[in-house]
């Protein structure tokens, strides 16, 4: 029996209207009350994706779904904390012919717009709203555009599935994602709950911002053989960054000298990225200082295996059990 094409499924979803359900469970309320900055007005479950997003998403949903896609776009799609910024900088330089001069003078936030950033913070301050209209920023960006998105595939712009631009998806070991996302919420979003509380919300697949982790990941893993989809992993990037750069360049149809590939690998070294004000969000921290804790750093460690070190043995075992149940029979190799 032939397998249904992911694009056939996409066309079915495109014909379905989005539905919103307010989420007010004890667990969601506990999670909301533990965050100071982005869940203050509550969350909604969005169908057909089952993704949980801040209620403010309803104001942006149509603009994102109807976004005008260009065939020469490159979309960086990930679950949060999987190496998104790292990949954005790599891809932007590859499609812009290694323009290091511009990359060192213009912030990645404007070079590679985060299209749904506007609904993340529950704040109606005019200054913030102007800074965060990244849909307009993406609309007005010159081609080829490099656009970042964390939304699940069925909430992405409809034209992604008809115009079929390049999509680079990045995944990461689930325990490292959990710990990194916990620290992201704690430092940048004012989360006051414990790591165990955060893990409970993460594995409930019902309260943490964005799509449930395994659904998001496996949806794109199942598209890995599509000509316009490339799946990289954080672990591969850490192990062999030059190799991943070459692989991604080939996918994008770009050719460079060995010296240029090595120069890009040097530029993308984590220690350099962490100290690079064009990619480490220091500029945004100054503009929107109240959203950051004083000790917040957008890039923390950039290591593989942090989750195993920071989770208790009992919690790590729960995460492993939860993960194995969801990836059974998928052939997914990057469990972590």
Contact 149, 156 (CB under 8 A): yes
**Domains of the chain by range and CATH?**
6-327 (3.40.50.300)
> What are the angstrom distances between the C-alpha of 320 and each of 161, 213, 308, 316, 335?
33, 13, 11, 6, 8
3-class SS of residue 210: strand
List the one residue out of 209, 182, 213, 212 whose CA is nearest residue 195: 182
205 pairs with which residues across the strands? none
What is the pTM for the complete model shown? 0.88
Residues 6+ apart with CB under 8 A from 253: none
The H-or-E segment that residue 21 falls in is strand 19-23
Average pLDDT over residues 112-136: 72
List the one residue out of 182, 192, 206 whose CA is nearest residue 37: 192
pLDDT at 16: 60
Contact 164, 69 (CB under 8 A): no
149 pairs with which residues across the strands? 77
Is the pLDDT score of 20 beyond 70?
yes
pLDDT digits (tens, 9 = 90+) for 275-323: 787 776 655 555 445 555 555 455 555 678 888 889 999 999 999 999 9
> What are the angstrom distances between the C-alpha of 204 and each of 211, 234, 285?
11, 24, 31
Q: What is the CA radius of gyration of the chain?
A: 19
Residues annotated catalytic, as ranges? 150
List the one residue out of 224, 228, 218, 221 whose CA is nearest residue 162: 228
Residues 6+ apart with CB under 8 A from 162: none
**Separation between Cα atoms, residue 253 and residue 246, nearest integer Å:** 10
pLDDT digits (tens, 9 = 90+) for 179-225: 999 988 887 777 889 999 999 989 987 777 666 899 999 999 999 99
pLDDT at 1: 44
> What are the angstrom distances between the C-alpha of 287 and each of 73, 130, 149, 282, 291?
28, 12, 22, 9, 10
Contact 203, 60 (CB under 8 A): no
Please give the distance of CA 35 from its chain centroid, rounded to a whole number: 20
> What are the angstrom distances between the C-alpha of 275 and each of 248, 270, 289, 322?
24, 9, 18, 36
pLDDT at 229: 98
């Amino acid at each position: 029996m032939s397998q249904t094409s992911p694009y056939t499924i996409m066309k079915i979803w495109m014909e379905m209207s989005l539905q919103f359900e307010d989420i007010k469970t004890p667990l969601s309320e506990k999670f909301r009350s533990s965050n100071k900055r982005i869940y203050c007005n509550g969350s909604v479950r969005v169908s057909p994706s089952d993704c949980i997003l801040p209620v403010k998403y309803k104001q942006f949903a149509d603009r994102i779904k109807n976004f005008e896609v260009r065939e020469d776009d490159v979309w960086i799609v990930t679950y949060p904390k999987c190496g998104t910024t790292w990949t954005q900088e790599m891809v932007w330089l590859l499609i812009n012919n290694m323009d290091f001069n511009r990359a060192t003078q213009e912030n990645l936030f404007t070079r590679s717009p985060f299209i749904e950033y506007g609904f993340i913070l529950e704040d109606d301050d005019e200054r913030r709203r102007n800074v965060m209209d990244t849909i307009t920023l993406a609309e007005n960006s010159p081609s080829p555009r490099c656009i970042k998105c964390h939304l699940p595939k069925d909430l992405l712009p409809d034209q992604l599935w008809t115009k079929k631009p390049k999509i680079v998806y990045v995944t990461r070991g689930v325990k490292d994602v959990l710990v990194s996302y916990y620290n992201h919420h704690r430092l940048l979003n004012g989360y006051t709950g414990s790591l165990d509380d955060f893990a409970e919300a993460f594995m409930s697949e019902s309260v943490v911002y964005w799509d449930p982790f395994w659904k998001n990941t496996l949806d794109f893993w199942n598209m890995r053989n599509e000509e316009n989809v490339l799946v990289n992993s954080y672990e591969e990037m850490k192990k062999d960054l030059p190799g991943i750069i070459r692989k991604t360049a080939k996918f994008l149809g770009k050719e460079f000298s060995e010296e240029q590939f090595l120069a890009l690998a040097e530029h993308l070294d984590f220690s350099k990225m962490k100290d690079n004000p064009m990619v480490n969000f220091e500029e945004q921290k100054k503009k929107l200082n109240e959203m950051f804790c004083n000790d917040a750093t957008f890039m923390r460690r950039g290591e593989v295996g942090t989750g195993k070190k920071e989770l208790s043995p009992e919690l790590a075992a729960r995460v492993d059990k939860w993960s194995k149940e969801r990836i059974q029979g998928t052939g997914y190799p990057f469990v972590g």
